[in-house]
Structure 1
Amino acid sequence: MSIRDLLRGVPVFARPLPGFAAGEAPDDPHELFASWLADAVTAGVLEPHAMTLSTVDADGLPDTRILLLREVDAQGWQFATDSGSAKGRQLARHPAAALGFYWREQGRQIRVRGKVLPLDREASARDFRARTTASRAASLASKQSEVLADPADLEHALAAAERAVQADPDTIDPGHTVYSLVPASIEFWQGDAGRRHVRLRYRRSADAWQRELLWP
């Protein structure tokens, strides 16, 4: 069996899905996101804060990875990565990105696009301190995106980082940076088994949001 035949045999949206009355959506897309996120948590969506971050490298090629959403507030949609990583270097060169959420259990997608700015060092330090000991040690040990010549090197680095964190819980990874994406557009997509998908896009216009119902 070919991959094409295998994929065509996989059912799509063959499950009960929530509705989406786009005409009743709030004026502020952040209110709608908060509502959808709460629904996802209640429905048991696994890791609903996991999102795809898309950036562009020095050659103009798109690059993606999965990160966790840290916060959504007046400063924007926040995530953290190492400023010296491939993602950090890409954002320094081209400070714009797209975020993508897909909540399979509910057939929902959310797309966010906009400019990206690093928050101040204190905000990044607070985020780092709030992480688990294992997460902080992993961040300190990692030479993110560099070639790992020997897996044993990682184990040695992790052990040393764990000792450092235990000796000084206030140890901060200097490269750990919280970034904020300031959205220019936010799109909400609700899947439908009959292919009558609902797409609602919010576009930033001056100090207000414009709502647009899109063709599926």
Structure 2
Amino acid sequence: MDSGDSTGRTDGVRAWLRGLEVFAGPLAYFDPTTAPADPVGLFLDWLREAVAAGVPDAHAMTLSTVAEDGGPDARVLFLKNVDGAGWQFAAHARSPKGRQLAVRPHAALTFYWPLLGRQVRVRGTVEPAPADQSSADLLARSVSARAEVELGRQSEHLKSAEERDLALREALARIESDPAPGSQQWTLYTLSPAHIEFWQADKSRLHKRLRYERTDPADPWQRHMLWP
């Protein structure tokens, strides 16, 4: 068979996927009627429970943005912080996500913790933090991670691994000779949410869903249970 022919490889995929077990459990318990008035505390409780349950990279999240062509774009990042102002993440301002946020400062975050059957969806507007906060975040990264930032060529076409490795060695040398942040493009972003949904799986598919909504950051949160 031609290695480029995928016909044989896709036979039976639908049946195979249908046969995979989901929500293997034991699933976590959630009573939406007892949820607090502010979603930040509930989110942190769920995050801590996910860490305690052994969920790998529990602070990983999918960041979804609007691409230049108007279509969706998504990638996985790590949460930097969460407080009353919102959810924080960091990115290079000249990366695809940085350019997209500069044009359309709206995004969604999705957390998924399969061991507990939980997900949290956060959607709202995004603003860059002051330069000093972004610089502090960059300095807190490992030397190798800072060197990758210094390259400033994320998602561009790469001619060879040798080209990448040479550029990385040069960036590491610059950082070792002068530890001060060289990149002014590393940016800490804060997503101020308008909608936050807490989703708890149920083996019978009667999933529990609770959405917090508000139109202005100064407004109190409104809570609504949702149909599965």
What value does the CA root-mean-square deviation take over the aligned residues? 1.1
Instruction: Give the one of 49, 67, 71 matched to 1:39.
Output: 49
**In 2, Cα distance between the equivalents of 1:9 and 1:68?**
31
Alignment gaps of 5+ in structure 1 = none
> Which position in structure 1 is the counterpart of 2:225?
213
CA contact (8 A) 2:79 2:87 kept: yes
Query: Is 204-213 or 101-110 further displaced after alignment?
Result: 204-213
CA contact (8 A) 1:164 1:171 kept: no
**In 2, Cα distance between the equivalents of 1:14 and 1:34?**
24
Q: Deviations over 1:71-128 (max 9, x none)?
A: 1123321101110111111101101000001111111100000011111100100000
Divergent runs of 4+, >3 A: none
1:57 deviates by 1.3
Instruction: Give the one of 108, 128, 138 matched to 1:128.
Output: 138
CA contact (8 A) 1:69 1:78 kept: yes
CA contact (8 A) 1:129 1:172 kept: no
Instruction: Give the one of 41, 58, 62 matched to 1:48.
Output: 58
**In 2, Cα distance between the equivalents of 1:90 and 1:10?**
36
CA contact (8 A) 1:125 1:172 kept: no
CA contact (8 A) 2:138 2:181 kept: no
1:172 deviates by 3.4
Query: Is 78-87 or 158-167 further displaced after alignment?
Result: 158-167
**In 2, Cα distance between the equivalents of 1:119 and 1:166?**
26
Number of equivalent positions: 216
Query: Is 155-164 or 168-177 further displaced after alignment?
Result: 168-177
Alignment gaps of 5+ in structure 2 = 1-10
> Which position in structure 1 is the counterpart of 2:30?
20
1:204 deviates by 1.3
Question: How high is the TM-score relative to the length of structure 2?
Answer: 0.92
**In 2, Cα distance between the equivalents of 1:183 and 1:15?**
30
Letter of the 2:221 partner, please give it: W
1:137 deviates by 1.1
Instruction: Give the one of 144, 147, 164 matched to 2:157.
Output: 147
Corresponding residue SS for 2:214:
strand
Corresponding residue SS for 2:56:
coil
> Which position in structure 2 is the counterpart of 1:100?
110
Larger radius of gyration: 2
Q: Deviations over 1:40-65 (max 9, x none)?
A: 11111111111000111121100001
Letter of the 1:26 partner, please give it: P
1:142 deviates by 4.2
Corresponding residue SS for 1:170:
coil
Corresponding residue SS for 2:65:
strand
Instruction: Give the one of 185, 190, 201 matched to 2:200.
Output: 190
> Which position in structure 1 is the counterpart of 2:8?
none
**In 2, Cα distance between the equivalents of 1:187 and 1:86?**
26
> Which position in structure 2 is the counterpart of 1:169?
179
Matches within 5 A, 1:1-12: 1-12=11-22
Question: How high is the TM-score relative to the length of structure 1?
Answer: 0.97
1:138 deviates by 1.4
1:167 deviates by 1.5
Letter of the 2:226 partner, please give it: L
